[in-house]
């Protein structure tokens, strides 16, 4: 086998998987450069992003993909994640 044939899956992975994501990340960095970190829209965006991430993590913990005995529920995952965030905020004094 030639080296080009062996490297073609990796090249395809970089071209299709990595570069499209990096373009949007770079564009986000350029556009967000002048934003005030204390503005309401930035704080709201950060809160939404944190809630989504917490919901996904809670869903992965509570309803792992290999466990079929419990019906998967995005609403339950988001609700538990929100409860954890609210409790964490309350306990930290924010």
pLDDT value for 48: 92
Q: How many CB atoms lie within 10 A of CB 25?
A: 9
Give the residue extent of every domain in the chain.
1-34, 36-94
The confidence score (pLDDT) of residue 11 equals 86
Q: What is the DSSP string of 31-71?
A: HTTT--TTSHHHHHHHHHHHHHHHHHHHHHHHS-TT--SS-
Given this model, what pLDDT does residue 69 score? 45
Could you list the mean pLDDT of each consecutive 10-residue stretch along the chain, which spans 94 residues?
76 86 89 88 90 88 63 72 83 74
pLDDT at residue 37, rounded to an integer: 87
Which pLDDT score is estimated for 1? 61
User: What pLDDT does 47 receive?
Assistant: 92
pTM score, whole prediction: 0.46
| Predicted pLDDT at 27 | 92
């Amino acid at each position: 086998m030639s080296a080009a044939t062996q490297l073609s899956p990796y090249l395809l992975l970089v071209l299709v998987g990595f570069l499209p994501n990096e373009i949007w990340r770079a564009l986000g960095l350029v556009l967000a450069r002048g934003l005030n970190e204390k503005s309401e829209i930035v704080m709201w965006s950060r809160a939404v992003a944190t809630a989504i991430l917490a919901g996904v993590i809670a869903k992965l913990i509570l309803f792992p993909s290999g466990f079929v005995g419990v019906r998967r529920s995005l609403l339950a995952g988001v609700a538990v994640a929100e409860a954890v965030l609210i409790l964490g905020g309350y306990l930290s004094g924010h």
